[in-house]
Structure 1
Amino acid sequence: MLRLGAVVMRVSAIDRARAFWSAALALEGAPHQPAFLLPGDAAPGTRLHLDEEDRMHLDLWADDEADQRVQVERLVSLGARRVEWDYPEGADFVVLADPDGNLFCVIA
């Protein structure tokens, strides 16, 4: 069986990206690996691997539409920005960019 073990994301400054994504997703830095962010309390889950070469986008799932609105505003307050997007009718996602311009979606 396969599982998602890591997401690799290209960033221009690992320290800045680590600060944003650790606050956004409540992740902790891996000992002796500043580019790896892990779920807290040794909980199982996907690792976020920050990389200055590769590029990726994330889909972040909210509990419902109300939670989606709250999460979008929280992420914007942390430094994300809303992205102009041609949304299809009935879209259940909001496209944002992190401080490095990496696109990600918050999905209800």
Structure 2
Amino acid sequence: MLKIGSVVWGVRDMQAAIRFWSAALDYAPLRDPNDDWAILVPRSGSGPQLALKLVTSGVHTHTRHHLDLYADDQAAEVERLLALGAQRVDWRYGPEADYVVLADPDGNRFCVIDKS
């Protein structure tokens, strides 16, 4: 049986990514990060790892990853993420969309899903 051990997230600014994702998800580095690799884990001890890998490709030339983040209070979480440095992405939403597309400070896109 397989299980997800890490979600690998390509980034171009390692330190900014560590700061953003640690604050956004309440994660912390598992060990001292390298210049090109870091593993973040939940402070609570439960949940998937997020591995950050330094890449040279741009977000507009190569899809490097994608996350769906589930939220009980989508609007509050979107505002919190924006305050941490996320940006809204110009997106064409369908009438039944239960998600908001954002980008982290490095331009990586992710969705905040309304699970209420």
TM-score by length of 1: 0.90
**Partner residue, 1:103:** 109
Instruction: Report the CA distance between 1:98 and its aligned residue.
Output: 0.2
Partner of 1:36: 39
Unpaired stretches in structure 1, ≥5 consecutive residues: none
- Per the TM alignment, residue 82 of structure 1 is displaced from its structure 2 partner at its CA by 0.4
Counterpart of 2:3 in structure 1 is 3
1:43-54 equivalent positions in 2, closer than 5 A: 43-53=45-55
Checking the alignment, whether the CA contact within 8 Å between 1:5 and 1:45 is kept in structure 2 is no
Q: What's the counterpart of residue 66 of structure 2?
A: 57
Choose which of 78, 82, 91 in structure 2 pairs with 1:76.
Answer: 82
Paired residue for 1:89? 95
Unaligned runs of 5+ in 2: 56-62
Alpha carbons 1:22, 1:28 under 8 Å: kept: yes
Bigger mean CA deviation after superposition, 91-100 or 5-14: 5-14
Aligned residue pair count: 104
Q: Which has the higher helix share?
A: 1
